[in-house]
Amino acid sequence: MSVKVVKDEELMSLKLDKPGRVKSQEQLAKHTIDSQFEDKPIERSVYLLTKGDDVQKLSIVQNLPQLYQFEPNATINRILPKIQQELPGSSSEFNIATARIFQILIQKKVPINLLSSILQGIDSRDPLVATTWIETLLEVINYLSDTQIRNDVLKWAVQKSAPSKPTLYRVASCHLLGRCAVHPKIQSIEVKTTILPLVQGLAQDVSFEVRACMAGQLANIAQGLNDSNLIKTSLLPSVVELAKDTNSVVRSSTIVAIAQLLQHFSTDTEQDVIIPLFKELCNQAAEENEASYPVLAREFGKYMTGLQNVLSQADCLWFLKFFKILSTKGLGSSQGDNVDPTQGVYCRHFCAQNLPSITQFTLLRASNSMDVWYSVFRDLAADPCYIVRKSVGACLHEVVGILGIQCRIIKPDIVRLLRDDAEDVLYMVVPKLGVTMETLCNYGLLSRETSTQTSLEIGRAILKCHMELSKGVNWRIQTDLLAQLEHLPNCLPSDFIHQHFTPVIFAIIGDQKAKPVKAQAARLLLVFLRYNIKEIQRKWIRENLMNRLYLSSSCYTRHIFIKMCESALSIFSKKYFKDHFFQPLLYLLDDRVSNIRLCTIQLLPQMRAMLGPEDKALLQTFDNMVKKLELTERDKDVIYTLRCVLKIMQSHQFDGNKQDLIQEEKQRQEDEAKIAQGKIVENFKLMEGLPFAPKRPVTEGTKAFKNSLTFPSQRNVTMPKNLPTFG
């Protein structure tokens, strides 16, 4: 009698009545196979596909990509034909799993024809199975050869597009015709002769689902035809007919299609056909409060962008006023506006998303109607639903940039959005707040020289925004806000910043628990320090940084000081750093907490690189502190890191003599000299650390240091117990 074994993955599929015990001996016997198959995956797979149950067959199908990776020839010659043979009579689950795996195999360009099995699966009587196989075919159609497209896919689409076929197949034919039309190996003449007649027929199908689906594929058909005259004579009539369909779903789909087709129409076609047709669609949606008006709102910007060169002044004003109607849907402000509230929110949300394109359109073609545009923007920015205000906040920086000199008209709305009580709205405004402020400054709404009423309003709004965000637990958005405030020295006077913002940022360091927030707040204070033009204020900031961070009794806070010094290396010149930060940072080598010493050691190469022959006192202090640490240190991690750092310094890899770094250092010293004289530094550049700022060059020595520094814990060395940690 042969010995039998049970595979782990098969046992997992069995039901257990108690932990670790198989429910019955019959099930155990059913799910065991001869030991002869244990090291023969191909034979085992064939055996299970022949005699196994559904669970075992599913296991083989799901592991097919891995099996093909190790046994490609046997998988193609033995396993795949067996699976194809099993498909017609298998369960729905087996068909669905196989469809997904076949998609993966075709995308990997497995040298076997799986298309016949896909087309066979589409003919399944189970709608779920048929739909799954249809989705698979649509996903892999670009991986098929031109022969397969012509002889199999198009042939199937022609057969299934007949009016007598089920709706599911006619809808599938619409999708396939659209995909085939843009297939790289299908020529325009084939689209004209084979696909276009079917498109025209399906566009007049008795089922609204088929007509709507065909409308959604018209852009692909036009791209495949690639002939403006043919599109006008053969495709445009179908577009007009679908746009006037009695079913709102078909009209909605056609609205989207026309927006995509605008690039294929000539100017005459747009003037004579498309503009009147779009007006008719707008009027119908407004009068009937039907389901198409959210789609109109979503696509409105594309229409205005595509048609702005052919619209008359009267048409421009008409469409702008209609956009105002769309922007108030669901609020009951329009006569007879009894639409579904949810649909109304969707409509206003889409209008808010289209604000940049509508702003551009208004400035170019309807500049005399800015009052109409502003009434739309104002209402959307103050919408009762936070979702709409959130959409306005997301595109606020774009709108400000497009408005240019006219951005002052939306100043009250910017302030209102910054003071919004909904966190989701602030999450959209904050990431581009710096760009928004820079734009306002460029056009005179904010100034670095003098404080204005606008400066006060926006400054207070930003502080209100900070207070609102600090109530939550999302430390990432708080960090983002502080990062965006690094733009403040370029937009507001240093006196104003020092009076209104500096105390608040110091409070963050003391009150916040999240380490990234405290570290970013410390960096922000350095930026304020860097561009403050009054020495008494700069001295106050430096003293407070030392008292609150360096001299803190909390090792957690002292570590923030080290992080701050890392930022100072990229913000200040070497001379400034040596004058104000070098010695306090160096003295942390004697800190009582090992983690503080460890973090300080990692900055030693950069500190040593900035010392020259003129810094004899600092060199002597540096050498004494390092030698003392070598003699007294007992922590294993600190000792190992110190040895790595000393090796780096001895190799002189941190020379810092590259030309670009020398030029950067010279520029910093010149700027600091001007600031010391009370002058505002021109051409302020954002510091490293902002999401869109250029990164500071990394020296070869920095790379070498990072690559060579491997901690003992990464080299299987036992870590000391009770190691101090932060956070």
Could you give the CA distance from residue 228 to residue 263 in angstroms, rounded to a whole number?
A: 10
Average pLDDT over residues 564-583: 93
Question: Which CATH number is 144-264 given?
Answer: 1.25.10.10
Predicted local distance difference test score (pLDDT) of residue 685: 52
pLDDT exceeding 90 applies to what percent of the chain?
57
Q: Which of 55-69, 248-262, 438-452 has the lowest mean pLDDT?
A: 55-69
Query: Considering only CA atoms, which of 248, 275, 364, 379 is closest in space to residue 325?
Result: 379
The confidence score (pLDDT) of residue 564 equals 95
Q: What is the pLDDT of residue 581?
A: 95
Contact 477, 432 (CB under 8 A): no
Task: Find the mean pLDDT for residues 209-234.
Answer: 92
Secondary structure (DSSP) of 605-654: HHHHHT--TT-HHHHHHHHHHHHHHHHH---HHHHHHHHHHHHHHHTT--
Pairing of strands 33-34, 4-5: antiparallel
Name the percent of the chain lying above pLDDT 70.
86
How many angstroms separate the CA atoms of 169 and 174, rounded? 9
Q: Is residue 657 scored above 60 in pLDDT?
A: no
DSSP 580-599: HTHHHHHHGGG-SSHHHHHH
Query: For position 17, what pLDDT does the model report?
Result: 46
10 Å Cβ neighbour count for 502?
20
Note every long-range contact of 185-189, with CB atoms under 8 Å and residues 24 or more positions apart, other chains counting: 185/145, 185/146, 185/149, 186/146, 186/149, 186/150, 186/224, 188/224, 188/225, 188/226, 188/227
Q: How far apart are CA 190 and CA 150, in angstroms?
A: 9
437 confidence band (pLDDT: 50, 70, 90): very high
The Cα angle at residue 681 between residues 675 and 684, in degrees rounded to 5: 135
Return the minimum-mean-pLDDT range out of 78-87, 261-270, 390-399, 449-458.
78-87
Which range has the worst mean pLDDT, 56-60, 216-220, 348-352, 400-404? 56-60
Q: What is the CA radius of gyration of the chain?
A: 35
Check whether 687 has a pLDDT greater than 60: no
Distance set, CA 194 to CA 151, 155, 159, 225, 427 (Å): 12, 10, 12, 11, 51
Average pLDDT value over all residues in the chain: 84
| 533 vs 687 pLDDT, higher one | 533
Identify whether the C-beta of residue 193 lies closer than 8 Å to the C-beta of residue 225.
no
> Which residues neighbour 668 within 8 Å (Cβ) at sequence distance 6 or greater?
572, 573, 576
d(CA 506, CA 500): 11
Q: Are 131 and 122 in contact (CB under 8 A)?
A: no
**Please, are residues 148 and 187 in contact by the beta-carbon 8 Å criterion?**
no
Burial 701-710 (b: 16+ CB within 10 A, else e): bbeebeeebe
pLDDT of residue 720: 34
> Distance between CA atoms of 482 and 505, rounded to whole angstroms?
9
What would the pLDDT profile of 610-630 be if each residue is shown by its tens digit?
888 888 999 999 999 999 999
- List b or e across 381-408, with b for residues whose CB sees 16 or more CB atoms inside 10 angstroms: bebebbebbbbbbbbbbbbbbbbeebbe
Residue owning tokens 């430096």: 542
Residue for token pair 């003599």:
657
pLDDT recorded at residue 5: 41
- Enumerate the domain spans of the chain: 40-141, 144-264, 266-394
Q: Which of 143-152, 279-288, 608-617 has the lowest mean pLDDT?
A: 279-288
Does 264 or 54 have the greater pLDDT score? 264
* Rounded CA separation 604/613 (Å): 17
Contacts of 412 (CB under 8 A, 6+ apart): none
Please say whether the beta carbons of 447 and 496 come within 8 A: no
Q: Six-digit token pair at 470? A: 């600090």
Band (3; pLDDT cuts 50, 70, 90): very low
Q: What is the pLDDT of residue 287?
A: 72
**Confidence bin at 693 (pLDDT 50/70/90):** very low
Position 22 scores a pLDDT of: 46
What residues have CB less than 8 Å from 152, skipping those under 6 apart?
Answer: 115, 116, 119
Q: Are 319 and 369 in contact (CB under 8 A)?
A: no
What lies within 8 Å, CB to CB, of 422 at 6+ separation is 386, 389, 390
Contact 528, 505 (CB under 8 A): yes
pLDDT in tens, 323-344: 999 999 888 755 456 677 888 8
Q: CA-to-CA distance for 267 and 257, rounded, in angstroms?
A: 18
pLDDT for res 38: 57
Asked whether the predicted pLDDT for residue 658 surpasses 80, the reply is no
pLDDT digits (tens, 9 = 90+) for 89-133: 788 888 888 889 888 888 888 888 888 889 888 988 888 999 999
Distance CA 526, CA 270 (A): 57
Neighbouring C-alpha atoms within 13 Å toward the C-beta of 96: 10
**Who's near 495: CB < 8 A, 6+ residues apart?**
451, 534, 537
Bridge partners of residue 54, in order along the sequence: none
Tokens found for residue 529: 């320090």
Q: Among 565-579, 618-632, 709-723, name the one with the lowest average pLDDT.
A: 709-723
* pLDDT of 366 above 80: yes
Average pLDDT over residues 214-240: 92
Considering only CA atoms, which of 227, 224, 317, 238 is closest in space to residue 277?
A: 238
Say how many CA atoms lie within 13 Å of 345 toward its Cβ.
9
Instruction: Report pLDDT for 62.
Output: 81
- Chain centroid to CA 236: 37
Query: Residue 401's pLDDT is what?
Result: 94
Least confident range from 102-116, 132-146, 216-230, 259-273: namely 102-116
